[in-house]
Every structure is written in C-alpha cells, then in structure tokens.
Amino acid sequence: MADNFVLPLPDDFHAHLRRGPAMAAYAERHAASFGRALVMPNTKPPVASASEIAAYRREILAAAARASGGSFEPLMSFKLLGGMSRSAVLACAQAGAVAGKYYPAGATTGSEDGIVDPESAEEALDAMQEAGIVLCIHGESPEAPALDREARFLPVIEGMLGRHPRLRIVMEHISTVESLEFLRRAPRRVGATATAHHLLCTLEDLLGGELDPQLFCRPVLKARRHADALREAVLRGEPRLFFGSDSAPHPRSAKAARRAPAGIYTSPSAIPALAGFFEAEGRLGALESFVARTGAAFYGLAPPRGSLELIRGPWTVPEELDGAVPFLSGRSLGWRLGRIEV
C-alpha cells in the first residue's frame, strides 16, 4: 500500500468560517485542506449586501494569507432576506458573489432572519437567474418534525424550478433517500452537496448510545438506509453530487451548554476521514471527482489548481482545535493531511 496519496487540491462548496475573532483560526484550518471554499453568509452580522461581501472577503483573505501563502480562495455567497430587491441581488453579483443562500427562517443556526414567506424571495430569485448566480438552499421546513423536514421542503424546490426555468439550484447537505431521488429526477441545473458527516454517521451515532452533542447538526443525521444510499451514490460518482463540508464550528463551551447549537466542526478531519472511507470501499480513485471535480464543473469554475498530499499512518483527531471539538475527535484515522503544492 502506497504511503501517500495526492489529490487535486479539494474544493469545499459549503463552509462556515464565522466572523469576528475566531474566524482567522477557522480560515487557516480550512486552507490546510481546501483551495477554495464557498463561504456561508449566516454570520453575525449576516453577509447580505455588496459591501458586506467585499468586507468579508478581505477579512478572510487576510487571515488565510498567513496560513497558506495566499493560495486559499473564498467563494462568496450572500444571504437572501425577505423582500430583497433585484438591484440588491445584482449588486451582490457585481461584487463577486457566486451564490445566494436561502434559509427558511428558523431552520438552523443563524437563520432567524431567513425567509418566512417564499413569495418574498421571488424577485430576488428572478434576479439571481438573470445574473447567472446559483441558489443554494437549506432545504428544511422548520414546522415539520425534525426528521421529516428535508423531505417536506422538496415541493418548495419543485415550485422554484417551475417558476425560474434557468435558475441553477444546489440542494445543500442532502441527508435523505428522497432528496437523492429528487436530484436524479431534476434537470441538470440542479446539483447537491453531501457532507462527510451525513455519509459517515447516522442517527445512532448521535443518540444510539450516550448523546453526542458534537454530532448534532441540521439537517439531523438520519437512519442507516439514508446514509447508505448517499454513500453508494458518491462512491459511484453520482452526477451533480459533490462535496460541501458544512464545517460549522461552535466554541466548545457552547456545545456543552444545556441547549447545544447545531453544527459540526468538520474541516480539520473531513478529507482524511473521506479518504479512509473511499479506500475501505475500494474506491479511493473516486474521491477526486467528489471533492475536486464535480462541484467546480457544476459551478462553471476552472478545475482546482494545485494538489493536496495525504499521508498514510494513524492520526488521532485532537480533542480540541481552535477552541472547538473537531469531527471524529479522539478517533484514529488511517490518513492525515500533508503538504499543499500550488
């Protein structure tokens, strides 16, 4: 068995880098695994205007430059707010946003100011279609029971596809068989991201033994049959299904509180964990399209430049990094991150 493995530098099409003092560490950590990341806008304050996009990009670039010699590229998104005008959306596109993010209000962390009435986003969706930017959707209906929320939101996406015949849509962090089937039936302008945690973990890992708040996320982890369907899809190289980490760090103390926020800090360990999974299934070669080809092609971006080395050898994921508990902390993985060449 070879003792190293070189991937094109992975892309992450769904990342939370936060804002404020903690952001620099999260951005540096991200730059150790990824060349580009689509940065989510559910920060405090939210990224919902052209000027915020420019300011947030500058903040991230300054932080990441210290880590990787300037090779990390944040791909910017903005948050759709109810009643957002066409001109506001076009200004975000002009400022370089490649995507706008739709959060149903209350669906997840930092979505209190999301969309209450889907009708209130229609003008913005038209403008996104006009500008050629992607609509990224957190597809969960907050009023439905926790495990049914994703499936209950699918008719809303269906309606958007009908009303906006050229709009490109990404269903974020899909976690169910129903979403996978929807993706397969959908036109080619629909893609989806899958996270490492929804592939590698199930509801049993979250609450089958002692409750593990570090594995609490939205959408909530699902039963085995859902994870199995997603695993099989990515191993086979499912068209238009690509990696988005949804790395979502919360300070360790917040996760230990009585009401733990949703979100898993996956960026430190997602790529080594995925390499272990693909290799165990005899499909290590298919990891490249999942993390470094399919997403860029969907977004119309150039293939990644540069490479990431993975080094074989047991690596125990630390109990804490950057003030948060990383995904699979304490577990021994078969690969660890090596050098990035650009």
Q: Which residues are catalytic?
A: 246
Q: In whole angstroms, how close is the CB of 22 to ligand DOR at the nearest point? A: 12
Closer by beta carbon to ligand DOR, 8 or else 244: 244
Contact between 35 and ligand DOR by CB under 6 A: the answer reads: no
Cα distance between residue 120 and residue 315, in whole Å: 48
User: For the purposes of burial, counting CB atoms within 10 Å of the CB of 280, is it exposed (0-12), middle (13-18) or buried (19 or more)?
Assistant: exposed
Q: Output the CA torsion 146→147→150→152 (10° steps).
A: -80
Q: How far from 315 is each of 34, 56, 107, 304, CA to CA, in Å?
A: 19, 33, 35, 26
Q: In whole angstroms, how close is the CB of 14 to Zn ion at the nearest point? A: 6
Q: In whole angstroms, how close is the CB of 311 to Zn ion at the nearest point? A: 29
Interface map 199-218 toward ligand DOR (x if CB under 6 A): ------------------xx
Q: Which residue is nearest to Zn ion (CB)?
A: 246
Contact between 262 and ligand DOR by CB under 6 A: the answer reads: yes
Contact between 109 and ligand DOR by CB under 6 A: the answer reads: yes
Which residues neighbour 58 within 8 Å (Cβ) at sequence distance 6 or greater?
A: none
Q: In whole angstroms, how close is the CB of 20 to ligand DOR at the nearest point? A: 14
309 Cα distance to chain centroid: 22
Contact between 157 and 140 (Cβ < 8 Å): no
Closer by beta carbon to ligand DOR, 320 or else 341: 320
Q: 341 has which bridge partners?
A: 307
Which residues neighbour 319 within 8 Å (Cβ) at sequence distance 6 or greater?
A: 325, 329, 330
| Token pair for 301 | 């971006």
Contact between 97 and ligand DOR by CB under 6 A: the answer reads: no
Question: Which of residues 46, 74, 263, 304 is near ligand DOR by CB under 6 A?
Answer: 263
Residue 277: HSE in the Cβ half-sphere, 13 Å Cα cutoff: 23
Q: Which residue is nearest to ligand DOR (CB)?
A: 263
Question: Which of residues 35, 41, 74, 110 is near ligand DOR by CB under 6 A?
Answer: 110
Question: Which of residues 12, 73, 246, 279 is near Zn ion by CB under 5 A?
Answer: 246
- Residue 121 touches which of Zn ion, ligand DOR, none (CB < 5 to 8 A by kind)? none
The interface region with ligand DOR, picked from 107-115, 161-169, 251-259, 300-308 by CB under 6 A, is 107-115
Q: In whole angstroms, how close is the CB of 325 to Zn ion at the nearest point? A: 17
Cα distance between residue 333 and residue 342, in whole Å: 26
Nearest residue to 266 (alpha-carbon basis) of 289, 283, 247: 247
The site for ligand DOR (CB under 6 A) is made up of: 16, 42, 108-110, 138, 217-218, 246, 248, 262-263
The site for Zn ion (CB under 5 A) is made up of: 246
